[in-house]
Copies of this chain bind each other. A is one copy, B any other.
């Protein structure tokens, strides 16, 4: 296992410590709940936006905490849902007069934890509501999921509600907005390698050199099929068509297009994928208003990528263009 860590049980806490040490002015940390939050929250002026899923998907979600994005994140261990008390404490500590919105990707463990925490918080009179993300078109049910999985499209939900909450939107308006984004965003991914959680010490699934898992989940869940490795353009054709046909996206649509690396794929390859994806968008009559080529939602060191399309209107375009300040930067 050629990875950087110390005690595997400290993988998540030490990552959180490093993140807060690197961002001492903007982030704070509550070790008991793996909770990373904006140092200027809670606030009287805005609804708090929170999320917590498994770790191992970084930058999702602890590195998406910042002005205009999440106000707090409270991840569980690697690929494990956060315990209920993490979610409950996160809601409670971020609560202000305008309430709390939680975002949950559609996995049974995550949903159960957040829904129980919501009930506990509601019983205390906290104004809290949730939205669910299920953008993965690959498969309907999977190891951890009833229905579709929530994957990289989650970032667009965060961006939209994060921006709107800065502009003063109330909780009900944010729920409506988040559900709208989720209804307009579609994703599918492919894995070229597996990945190894530090505490497990062995790969989460087996895949040979020259193979790929088409439609993989971000915890290595099976996709549509195991196939032989193909040329980049062929892979993107399949991902793009699956995603675009699903909504469906239609000629004349304005879109945001994301090519997301799964953790072990270098950015050079992501731009080779973007090239073909942009060609396909053009051929379909879609206008790319904004593009995103980077790592957003990963699976540890897995080589692979996902493609996300979001259908835009004036409201969503303005929200994507609103400022956001999160820890990740290259100068």
Contacts and interface: CB of A to CB of B under 8 A. Distances in A.
Nearest to A267: B58
Contacts of A267: 58-59, 63, 295, 298, 328
A84 to B, nearest CB: 24
Interface in A61-99: 63-64, 69
Interface in A209-257: 209-212, 229, 231-233, 235
A22 B278 contact: yes
B331 A4 contact: no
Given A11-B268, A326-B331, A274 B22 contact: yes
Contact of A59 (B1, B18, B269, B330): B330
A294 interface: yes
Nearest to A192: B2
Interface string A294-306: 1110101101010
Contact of A331 (B192, B298, B324): B324
Interface stretch (A128-136, A258-266, A310-318): A258-266
Contacts of A69: 331
A272 interface: yes
A135 to B, nearest CB: 16
Which range holds the interface residue count of chain A?
35 or more
A159 interface: yes
A275 B29 CA distance: 14
B55 A268 contact: yes
B268 A15 contact: yes
Contacts of A4: 192, 232, 235, 265, 269-270, 272-273, 305
A268 B56 contact: yes
A231 B7 CA distance: 8
A103 to B, nearest CB: 15
A2 B330 contact: no
Contact of A275 (B3, B14, B58): B14
A63 B271 CA distance: 10
B3 A274 contact: no
B294 A329 contact: yes
30 contacts: A2-B211, A3-B269, A3-B303, A4-B232, A4-B273, A4-B305, A5-B231, A6-B231, A6-B232, A6-B233, A14-B272, A14-B275, A18-B275, A18-B293, A22-B274, A22-B291, A22-B293, A56-B268, A58-B266, A63-B267, A69-B331, A155-B331, A263-B266, A264-B266, A264-B301, A266-B301, A267-B298, A267-B328, A268-B300, A293-B327
Interface of A: 1-6, 11, 14-19, 21-22, 55-56, 58-59, 63-64, 69, 155, 159, 192-193, 207, 209-212, 229, 231-233, 235, 263-275, 278, 291-296, 298, 300-301, 303, 305, 324, 326-331
Given A2-B207, A266-B295, 6 more contacts: A11-B272, A15-B272, A21-B274, A21-B278, A263-B266, A264-B264
